[in-house]
Amino acid sequence: MTAQRQTKSDPGTIDSMTFRNACGAFATGVTVITTRMDDHDHGMTANAFMSISLDPPLIAVSIAKTARILPLMQAAQRFAVSVLAAGHEDLAMHFAGRPRDDIGDPLRDLDGLPVVRTASAVFAANVDQTVDAGDHVIIVGRVSALETDPDRRPLTFHKGCFGRLNEETPPMLEPGWLLEGNHW
Ligand SMILES: Cc1cc2nc3c(=O)[nH]c(=O)nc-3n(C[C@H](O)[C@H](O)[C@H](O)COP(=O)(O)O)c2cc1C
């Protein structure tokens, strides 16, 4: 790919596609954000997920203002995040506006919220803060419950493509490092 450069300081001059391509260089995992309103479950695929704070346990997601899940999350004041695993490409597309009839019943309950059954980690959260951010809204949630499945490998997203990790370096830190007040 040809290198792309945008160096103008006026943010209005940054071309959206160039900006999007640059952000796509940051490899992420893939999640499904879910919520429940009036017994109706709704989910949306998102890679804009991050862990925010250990104490208290906070997570954040960034949701497009046009996304159907946003008013549901704001009304419910609760949401869940399911971290997708390798092999979940179909699920990721199902919850990204390409619904599939053969997807079955991919959701189960965690603390009164729907989560993906076969996810590698699931978090249930109560909305703690909502931040207006351009064409998105950042929602910070305080985690009320979580479960992990350590045997699952991650689904990745990089430059618009799903992928898998094929190589991991050995742990660089001894387990006690985290407990000594070093955050991540
Ligand atoms: C890999 C991937 C990551 C995505 N990440 C986000 C995200 O972080 N935030 C967001 O608002 N939409 C994200 N989307 C787009 C939504 O999943 C998509 O627009 C969805 O159709 C919106 O739901 P709705 O059609 O019910 O409104 C992502 C899509 C994919 C495939």
Q: What is the pLDDT of residue 2?
A: 59
Q: pLDDT-based confidence at 9, cuts 50/70/90?
A: low
- For the whole model, what pTM was predicted? 0.92
Mean pLDDT of 61-86: 98
Q: How many CA atoms lie within 13 A of 152 on its CB side?
A: 20
Confidence at 115, pLDDT banded by 50, 70, 90:
very high
Whether the Cβ atoms of residue 104 and residue 69 lie closer than 8 Å to each other = no
Q: Which of 32, 45, 79 to mutate to test the pocket of ligand 1 (most atoms within 8 A of CB)?
A: 45
Asked if residue 1 has pLDDT above 60, the reply is no
- Residue range 75-104: average pLDDT? 97
* Domain 28-161 coded CATH 2.30.110.10: yes
pLDDT of residue 11: 61
**Whether residue 154 has a cis bond before it, omega within 30° of 0:** no
Choice from 32, 33, 44, 84 to test ligand 1 binding pocket (greatest atom count within 8 A of CB): 44
What's the 3-state SS for 6-69? CCCCCHHHCCHHHHHHHHCCCCEECEEEEEEECCEEEEEEECCEEEEECCCCEEEEEEECCCCH
Which atom number of ligand 1 is nearest to the Cα of residue 98?
A: 21
Give per-residue pLDDT as tens, 125-151: 999 999 999 999 999 999 999 999 999
CB 59 within 8 A of CB 123: yes
- 138: nearest Cα among 59, 76, 78, 81: 59
Which atom of ligand 1 sits closest to the CA of residue 61? 8
Stretch 19-41: mean pLDDT: 97
